[in-house]
Structure 1
Amino acid sequence: MLPVTYQFPVFDFTELVHEPVISKKYQPLKPLQAGQLTPDIKLINKNGTWLNSKIRNYEGTVFTYQLLSKPLVISFYAEAWNRKGIHILKKLNAIQNEILAAGGNLLIVTAEGPFAQAEVNWKHHFNLSFYHDVNHEIARKFNVFSEEDPIWNKFSGIDVNAPLLATYVLSPAGQIVYDHIDTAFNGSFPVEEIINATKNAR
């Protein structure tokens, strides 16, 4: 009986097509700070982008100069921060009337949609004004969100990218007069400083 010879195909490694290695340049987050100019932002007033807004109801696009007809406290919130984010919302909700009495407005900016916003207000008995920041456009302007430096690189327990827990006071002159980036998570929140900054921003 003749031996059976198996012929295996010879793989030519020169036929491999190597995909190019695309290197992403790391760009660390550098949130805007007090003393810098307010970035040029615009809010679209349609399709449920506002929730419970106490800010003057402009039709269509709301530009920076319209937002800053009076001092504005703007705070970034994301569901991914869980209790940390809710803690800050509780503090802001508690001083909302004092911000208004100081001549300012308060706006919570979030990439969560209107149903999620309404649920937060209802579940925690808040009366906050939210704006739906689609694709984190406003958060990018304040440099508190970036794909190049996702927050899971900085904080444990976060598995999605989200804006930093940042709160700003903006003056009608178009300047950031106060900033607070919560990275300590120790339960403290500078409510008095925010109120005073709002009073002095007029």
Structure 2
Amino acid sequence: MYYEIEDELGNVSTIQLKDREAEHSLTVLKNGDLAPLFYLKNEEGAAITSLTGFSLSNDARSIIDLLQFKPLVLSFYCNCWGSYAPKHLAVVQKLAPQVEALGGQLLILTNESQKEIERISRKLETELPIYHDKDYNVARSYGVYSETSPIWDRIAGISEEVFTPSLFVIGKDRRIAYNFVDENFDNTPDTKAILKEVYDWKYKK
């Protein structure tokens, strides 16, 4: 885009302004997409995720290991969502025993520190597996975190790098069976749809 600018002496000059770099829209996983591979492991006593299979401890498990016998409900969560955070966590906590009763499993990934994870865990009525998503790598691969389209640039009250609130059901074939991504922070996951997908995957051959 070109602009003509006149200075105090009446001299006119033309400058070109570069368009703002286009924000890369998040490529959120859709139903039927193959869920990206990641690993769960312990590092110095902290439960973290990794995208590589290198230098992993013997107790590291990949998403393939998790899905070998059970479908997975995967939720991304951050305390820094403000008033939205406890609502989302309450839904996930209520969902967990129902998912387990139907033969599924639930996992929470967060960008919180290990100390904060321990604090969250103490407040929960039921024990939930919570892992730190190291460097936002898993969230990025699932399309719910982007440096070029930060949430703090769109949502009032958030001033740091965070995930987009989201939840996925992943079948035993590693395909996405249900996705919930709340870019506007104004919705909640459809628990009936989630439980239906978990139930259906349990009985699929």
**Interval containing the TM-score (normalised by the shorter chain):** 0.7 to 0.9
CA change 1:91–1:79 in 2 (3 A) is same
Aligned to 1:65: 64
Aligned to 1:167: 167
Aligned to 2:52: none
1:186 CA displacement: 4.2
Q: Contact 2:93 / 2:124 at 8 angstroms: preserved in 1?
A: no
SS, match of residue 74 in structure 2: strand
SS, match of residue 95 in structure 1: helix
Higher strand share: 2
Q: Contact 1:34 / 1:179 at 8 angstroms: preserved in 2?
A: yes
Q: Contact 1:27 / 1:149 at 8 angstroms: preserved in 2?
A: yes
Q: Contact 1:90 / 1:126 at 8 angstroms: preserved in 2?
A: no
Q: Contact 1:92 / 1:191 at 8 angstroms: preserved in 2?
A: no
TM-superposition CA deviations, 1:8-53 (whole Å, max 9, x none): xxxxxxxxxxxxx9x85531222112111111212223333339xx
TM-superposition CA deviations, 1:136-167 (whole Å, max 9, x none): 11101101111111112221211112110000
Q: Report the structure number with the largest CA radius of gyration.
A: 1
Q: Which amino acid is the alignment partner of residue 86 of structure 1?
A: P
**Could you say which structure has the greater relative contact order, defined with CA pairs below 8 angstroms and 6 or more residues apart?**
1
Aligned to 2:42: 45
Q: Which moved more, 1:121-130 or 1:92-101?
A: 121-130
Residues 1:33 and 2:30 are matched in the alignment: yes
Q: Which amino acid is the alignment partner of residue 145 of structure 1?
A: Y
Unpaired runs of 5+ residues, structure 2, are: 1-17, 49-56
Q: Which moved more, 1:146-155 or 1:184-193?
A: 184-193
Question: Using the alignment, how far apart are the partners of 2:173 and 2:103 within structure 1?
Answer: 14
Q: Contact 1:41 / 1:141 at 8 angstroms: preserved in 2?
A: no
**TM-score, normalization by structure 1:** 0.78
CA change 1:143–1:185 in 2 (3 A) is closer
Query: How many aligned residue pairs are there?
Result: 175
Question: Using the alignment, how far apart are the partners of 1:61 and 1:188 within structure 2?
Answer: 32
Question: Using the alignment, how far apart are the partners of 1:90 and 1:185 within structure 2?
Answer: 15
1:94 CA displacement: 1.1
Aligned to 1:89: 89
Q: Which amino acid is the alignment partner of residue 172 of structure 2?
A: P
Question: Using the alignment, how far apart are the partners of 2:131 and 2:115 within structure 1?
Answer: 12
Equivalent positions of 1:110-129 (< 5 A) are: 110-129=110-129
CA change 1:187–1:27 in 2 (3 A) is closer
Q: Which amino acid is the alignment partner of residue 106 of structure 1?
A: L
Q: Contact 1:87 / 1:187 at 8 angstroms: preserved in 2?
A: no
Q: Which runs of 4+ in 1 moved over 6 A?
A: none
Q: Which amino acid is the alignment partner of residue 59 of structure 1?
A: N
Aligned to 2:139: 139
**TM-score, normalization by structure 2:** 0.77
Aligned to 1:108: 108
State the superposition RMSD in angstroms: 2.2
